[in-house]
């Protein structure tokens, strides 16, 4: 948790901005501005966006170098600059900065302090690195890995193992829940005529639930990361997921019923019980896969962490409870 | 497969390049070049990299606008330009272009035809979109989703379901293999004194194998996507994975042994059999998780496709075979 808090502090716009940028006055002419830029001697991408600021340091507008170059010599900067610009504050999240650069095809993004005074700029190349790092972190969290700063090629075997063992141990411990659940239903499994069918279909049921949950959670986590799913869309998305899970659950249940009766030679009652379990498991797994990342965002936990590794275990336990509950009800 | 082939054709550098760029002669002076750029009236990011080409259209060097602006009036372009530039061919992969832009902090990347003649340029903002699209595709493929071009927010429930059902059905069908395997060992499960222990620990074993495989495959797929793992590093990476899997397998097996003996009250023989199965499963799953994406790359299949959805099913079947094989050997 401490690591998460430190991460949040580190991942601010202020941490990736550069204090190098070109700041000019609004009453300058285009040719004067070009001379001023050339005289600045600045040799970085920050040069491609000129920031027009007032005497108090407050940002009035931004001017793309390409607009300045295309303008006639005598045009004043205040007539060329874009006053409807995007800016981030120093303590805004890096992902906010990345989203703005991506959405509006920016080359550089201004960073201001609380009072709106210009303090730095973030170049698009920094944003490319932020995007890849954030995506890598999501990939790793969703695969139950402790995120690593190091590239794979330079990581030692010990480092690799130490980033894998914590979650493997936690998840192994939590799937012992499944063992206890099965043990407590052992009498049912041995006594019921359906015992054999239940045991042999357990992996199929748990896998299908896990796959359905991983599908919906991945889509929701990705949509959040790309800014395609704002908090106020949550209700609509949950409704969509419920309907989608109904279609998938019914479809998979039906196919499983036909498979068990026609191919595996089970009775219709056996096939119906297992297929209903498949259908309910898919609905529960799919809905949880959508709900957990949304809850995580509300609680300010990384959605990738909550939905990836934990979801599988929760879905496993729930799918077994559905199966045992159904067979108990029928028997 | 056809969809994959079309995708490959679509995802070339040629498909995202723009034919708009500034091409100047090598013997121009810096001040002439700036005037020429201004006269071009070009109003896009492509303006930030100037391409210096010979009379035959072949690219001689690239010149960042920032370097041009910082240069003295009388400097000739051939003394300013960078002759050790990066370029892609029209039929190169978009990911190659993305990797170059990311690695060398480029604002624009030249695209040449087979003869080395300049035909277009790719701006960094296009690359940002390519990176996000490629990452989204990897996330989707690894979560057993048929990749979709549409954003989540605008996808209908039917579209969502249709992108999920194909893989859910294929994976459900393949996990029926587990059902057959369990059925064919039903006599062993019922007769052996270890039957109950085997059944109740099956989910834990399969989950742990799945988690270990998903960890290694995610790391390898991501390292490949970021260009951190070239084909000639394959041998070293496989060796690393084997060692890492040994550490993880032994660690998890040991913890499981202690848990079964101390907490779950199993006999030492039972605990030893299941723990050995855990250890072997982790080693196999981890190694396969690394091997499958590498094989996929060799076969020119998307590694994310082969390692994500298929790996779980393969690991499930193998973990059961290891468990049943071990108990048969002991009994």
Global pTM reads: 0.86
CB contact under 8 A, B312 and A125: no
Q: Are A188 and A195 in contact (CB under 8 A)?
A: yes
pLDDT of B115 above 80? yes
Mean pLDDT of A150-161: 88
Per-residue pLDDT of A103-120, as tens digits, reads: 888 888 999 988 888 888
Mean pLDDT of A165-176: 89
pLDDT of A308 above 80? no
CB contact under 8 A, A145 and B215: yes
- SS3 for A24-70 is ECCCCEHHHHHHHHHHHCCCCHHHHEEEEECCCCEEEEEEEHHHHHH
Per-residue pLDDT of B204-231, as tens digits, reads: 999 999 999 999 999 999 999 888 888 8
Determine the Cα–Cα distance for residues B26 and B81; give it in Å rounded to an integer: 8
CB contact under 8 A, A144 and B175: no
Mark which residues 44-73 of A lie under 8 Å from B by CB.
44-45, 47-48, 65-67, 69-70
* ipTM of the modeled complex: 0.86
Per-residue pLDDT of A182-216, as tens digits, reads: 888 888 888 888 888 888 899 999 999 999 999 99
What residues form DSSP beta bridges with B22? B50
- Sheet holding A59-64: strands in order across? A22-24, A49-53, A59-64
Determine the Cα–Cα distance for residues B119 and B117; give it in Å rounded to an integer: 6
Instruction: Report DSSP state, residue B93.
Output: B
Nearest-by-Cβ selection for B128 from A43, A102, A218: A102
**Percentage of residues in chain B having pLDDT higher than 90:** 43
Instruction: Report DSSP state, residue B308.
Output: T
Determine the Cα–Cα distance for residues A53 and A224; give it in Å rounded to an integer: 34
Per-residue pLDDT of A293-303, as tens digits, reads: 999 988 988 88
**First and final C-alpha spacing in chain B:** 46
Q: Is the CB of A4 inside 8 Å of chain B's CB atoms?
A: no
- The whole-angstrom distance between B111's CA and the closest CA on chain A is 19
From B157, which residue of chain A is nearest by alpha-carbon distance?
Answer: A244
pLDDT score recorded for residue A10:
66
What does the DSSP assignment read for B38-83? HHH---SGGGGEEEEE-TTSBEEEEEEHHHHHHS-TT-BHHHHSBS
CB contact under 8 A, A157 and B127: no
Token pair, residue B326, equals 């071990």
pLDDT of A43 above 80? no
For chain A, the average pLDDT equals 88
Q: Is the CB of B287 inside 8 Å of chain A's CB atoms?
A: no
Token pair, residue A203, equals 């992996």
Per-residue pLDDT of B242-301, as tens digits, reads: 999 999 999 999 999 999 999 988 999 999 999 999 999 999 999 999 999 999 988 988
CB contact under 8 A, B125 and A107: yes
Nearest-by-Cβ selection for A247 from B157, B206, B210: B157
For chain B, the average pLDDT equals 88
pLDDT of A9 above 60? no
Q: Is the CB of B310 inside 8 Å of chain A's CB atoms?
A: no
Token pair, residue A154, equals 């330079």
pLDDT score recorded for residue B69:
84
Q: In A, which residues are within 8 Å of B38 by CB distance?
A: 69-70
What does the DSSP assignment read for A71-138? S-TT-BHHHHSBSS---EETTSBHHHHHHHHHHTT-SEEEEE-TTSBEEEEEEHHHHHHHHHHHHHHH
Instruction: Name the residue with higher pLDDT: B2 or A267.
Output: A267
């Amino acid at each position: 948790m401490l690591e998460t808090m430190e991460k949040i502090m580190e991942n601010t716009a202020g941490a990736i901005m550069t204090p190098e940028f070109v700041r000019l006055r609004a009453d300058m002419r285009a040719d004067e501005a070009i001379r001023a830029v050339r005289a600045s001697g600045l040799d970085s991408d920050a040069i491609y966006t000129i920031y027009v600021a007032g005497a108090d340091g407050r940002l009035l507008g931004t001017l793309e170098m390409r607009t300045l170059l295309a303008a006639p010599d005598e045009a004043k900067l205040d007539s060329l600059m874009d006053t409807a610009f995007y800016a981030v504050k120093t303590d805004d999240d890096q992902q906010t900065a990345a989203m703005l650069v991506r959405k509006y095809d920016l080359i550089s993004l201004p960073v201001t302090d609380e009072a709106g005074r210009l303090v730095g700029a973030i170049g698009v190349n920094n944003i490319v690195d932020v995007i890849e790092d954030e995506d890598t972190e999501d990939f790793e969290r969703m695969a139950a890995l402790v995120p690593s700063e190091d590239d794979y090629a330079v990581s030692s075997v010990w480092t690799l193992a130490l980033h894998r063992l914590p979650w493997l141990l936690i998840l192994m411990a939590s799937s012992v829940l499944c063992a206890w659940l099965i043990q407590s239903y052992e009498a049912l499994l041995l006594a019921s005529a359906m015992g054999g069918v239940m045991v042999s279909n357990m992996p199929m049921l748990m896998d299908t639930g896990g796959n359905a949950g991983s599908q919906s959670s991945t889509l929701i986590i990705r949509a959040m990361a790309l800014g395609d799913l704002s908090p106020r869309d949550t209700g609509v998305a949950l409704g969509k997921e419920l309907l989608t899970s109904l279609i998938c659950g019914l479809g998979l249940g039906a196919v499983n019923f036909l498979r068990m009766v026609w191919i595996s030679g089970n009775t219709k009652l056996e096939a119906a019980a297992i297929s209903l379990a498949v259908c309910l498991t898919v609905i529960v797994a799919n809905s949880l896969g959508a709900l957990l990342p949304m809850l995580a965002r509300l609680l300010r936990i990384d959605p990738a962490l909550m939905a990836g590794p934990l979801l599988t275990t929760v879905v496993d336990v729930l799918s077994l409870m559905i199966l045992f509950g159904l067979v108990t009800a029928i028997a």
